Amino acid sequence: RLLAAFLPKAFRRPVSEDEVSEHLALVKQQMAGGRRFDDALRAAYKMALCSPNFLFLQEKPGRLDDHALAARLSYGLWSAAPDDELTALASQGKLHDPAVLRAQTERLLASPKAARFTRNLLGSWLNLRDIDFTQPDTKLYPEFEPYLQQSMLRESEAFFETLLRENLSVRNVVHSDFAMLNERLAEHYGIAGVKGDHLRRVPLPADSHRGGFITQGAVLKVSANGTSTSPVVRGAYVLDRILGTPPDPPPKNVPAIEPDIRGATTIREQLDKHRNQPACAGCHAQLDPPGFALENYDVTGRWRTVYRAIPDSAKDKVVNVPGTDIRLYTQGRPVDPSFAMADGRAFKDVDEFKQLILAHPEQLARCVTEKLMTHFTGAPVQFADREVIDAIVQRAASSDHGLRTLLHEVIQSRVFTHK
């Protein structure tokens, strides 16, 4: 009785009599060897929890059965096994009804557990799970502290939740007229009038240079290292995570550019020499424009018009602060974010760059659709999926490619319901 109740929950599907008998045989074997009943039963539970049936989503090629569909939906939105309602609908064979599947999607999204969907999707899509991978150099960025980083992460999550809840256009991935801020973030971004620790929706002034994921502190931090920004790294990040056009790997035997924290040269001057190499020019025509567009943001996401540098005169000047040592920095060379796209369209700053990207919202919608598909299926998008993606983007155009519309379209698609 206990095994017959436990195994379907562990395997997320009905189990056969043979599967129950297999685990029951282990219980009997353990008891015959002198073990107590509870220890013998625990051994059978361990056997189930070490089984591929528990460790993996066992999906057979073709149309998924209702229990596999329930598991894919539940793990995608809740990062958890299906609950009783999903399991009951799967047992009744109702989940393949588009109306039922849509209603269950809405039910799961309405639960507090859906916060796991936000956190996990942004962790993989925007690489936010690596926000602790580097820490800003305290010599150059003494104002950065853990509470600011926590606020940055919550900003991105709250922003995504707002887009999803209100079905706002994916144009907001690149630019929005609002941000989710608390007092510490507003201070960091130079936005006045925000008081208190709680995040709230704040209309952005026209001159704020904020709005959208690409100008949020968490995104700007994970696309830089702890000392300097690199237009190449940030350019590759925007191409892959925002535009869905990942660059080719760099050629072998091409040395990386080392940052000059002394301020003697700018990254633009260093890259100008790099781009003159024939093996590098083609890729940099794609990489550098989005990277330079974001060059006004330092490694902490703060807006800057000049670089920070550590001159030789400050080499031995250390300010002692509890928990850290801060070396004095000075203002370095001016930041020049202007560049031209590979097709020749020029921009002078991030605001003009955003407008060039927003001229093709279907590209943003296609990228978001692909990221959602990868999240729910656990597999990269295949060539055969392109037709489905194109159809989703076309149908979602009527909602200005709303994020919730795209989510429902992905879950209703053949890519989600089939393996």
List alpha helices for 193-293, DSSP H: 217-222, 231-237, 267-275, 278-293
Q: What counts of helices (H) and strands (E) characterise the chain?
A: 19, 8
Give the residue from 145, 173, 141 showing the smallest Cα distance to 159.
173
162-212, pLDDT tens digit by residue?
A: 999 999 999 999 999 999 999 999 999 999 999 999 999 999 998 899 999
Percent of the chain with pLDDT strictly greater than 90? 79
Per-residue pLDDT, 225: 86
Q: Give the three-class secondary structure for 72.
A: helix
Rounded to whole angstroms, how far apart are CA atoms 45 and 287?
52
- According to DSSP, residue 65 is labeled P
What Å distances lie between residue 31 and 20, 50, 233, 241, 355, CA to CA?
17, 20, 60, 55, 72
Maximum separation of any 2 CA atoms in the chain, in Å? 80
226-264, pLDDT tens digit by residue?
A: 788 989 899 999 999 999 999 887 767 665 666 555 555
Rounded to whole angstroms, how far apart are CA atoms 162 and 182?
15
Average pLDDT, the chain: 91
Per-residue pLDDT, 38: 96
Pull the structure tokens for residue 125.
């899509």
pLDDT along the chain (419 residues), means of 10: 96 95 96 96 97 93 96 97 96 96 98 98 97 89 93 98 98 98 97 96 94 97 89 94 88 62 64 65 82 96 92 68 70 92 94 96 97 96 95 97 98 96
